[in-house]
Amino acid sequence: MALVLAENIGRVALLRLNRPKKLNALNAALIGELNAALDKAEADEKIGAILLTGNERAFAAGADIGEMEKIKNYAEVCEENLITRDWERVTQCRKPVIAAVSGYALGGGCELAMMCDFVLAGTDAMFSQPEIIIGTMPGAGGSQRFARAAGKAKAMEMCLSGRMMDAKEAERCGIVARVVPAGSLQRVALETAQKIASHSLPVARMIKESVNAAFETHLSAGVQFERRLFHSTFALADRAEGMRAFLQKRKPKFKHK
Ligand code: CAA
Confidence of residue 110 (pLDDT cuts 50, 70, 90): very high
* pLDDT one-digit tens code per residue, 195-206: 999 999 999 999
Question: 70: which residues sit within 8 A by CB, 6+ positions away?
Answer: none
Question: 51: which residues sit within 8 A by CB, 6+ positions away?
Answer: 12, 13, 14, 15, 97, 98, 100, 189, 190, 193
Is 63 catalytic? The answer is: yes
Q: What's the CA-to-centroid distance between 190 and ligand 1, angstroms?
A: 27
Q: Is 61 in the pocket of ligand 1 (CB under 6 A)?
A: yes
* pLDDT one-digit tens code per residue, 64-96: 999 999 999 999 999 999 999 999 999 999 999
Q: Output the pLDDT for position 236.
A: 98
DSSP β-bridge partners for residue 122: 180
Q: Which atom of ligand 1 is nearest to the CA of 63?
A: 50
Q: Output the pLDDT for position 220.
A: 98
Instruction: Return the H-helix or E-strand segment holding 180.
Output: strand 178-180
Q: In the chain, where does DSSP find H-type helix?
A: 28-43, 65-69, 74-80, 108-115, 142-150, 152-161, 167-172, 185-198, 201-213, 219-232, 237-247
Residue nearest ligand 1's atom 32 by CA: 61
CA 161 to CA 137: how far, in whole Å? 11
Helix, strand or coil, per DSSP, at residue 98: strand
Q: Output the pLDDT for position 181.
A: 98
Q: Output the pLDDT for position 93.
A: 98
Is 214 catalytic? The answer is: no
Q: What's the CA-to-centroid distance between 63 and ligand 1, angstroms?
A: 9
Confidence of residue 239 (pLDDT cuts 50, 70, 90): very high
Is 111 catalytic? The answer is: yes
Longest dimension (CA), the chain: 66
Q: Output the pLDDT for position 76.
A: 97
- Give mean pLDDT, residues 162-175: 98
Strand order in the sheet with 49-53: 4-9, 12-17, 49-53, 97-101, 118-122, 178-180
Q: Is 166 exposed, middle or buried (0-12, 13-18, 19+ CB in 10 A)?
A: middle
Mean pLDDT of the chain: 98
Task: Name the residue of 22, 23, 145 to mutate for ligand 1: max ligand atoms within 8 A of Cβ.
Answer: 23
Q: In 94-184, where does DSSP find H-type helix?
A: 108-115, 142-150, 152-161, 167-172
CA 195 to CA 200: how far, in whole Å? 11
Is 193 catalytic? The answer is: no
Confidence of residue 100 (pLDDT cuts 50, 70, 90): very high
Residue nearest ligand 1's atom 30 by CA: 23
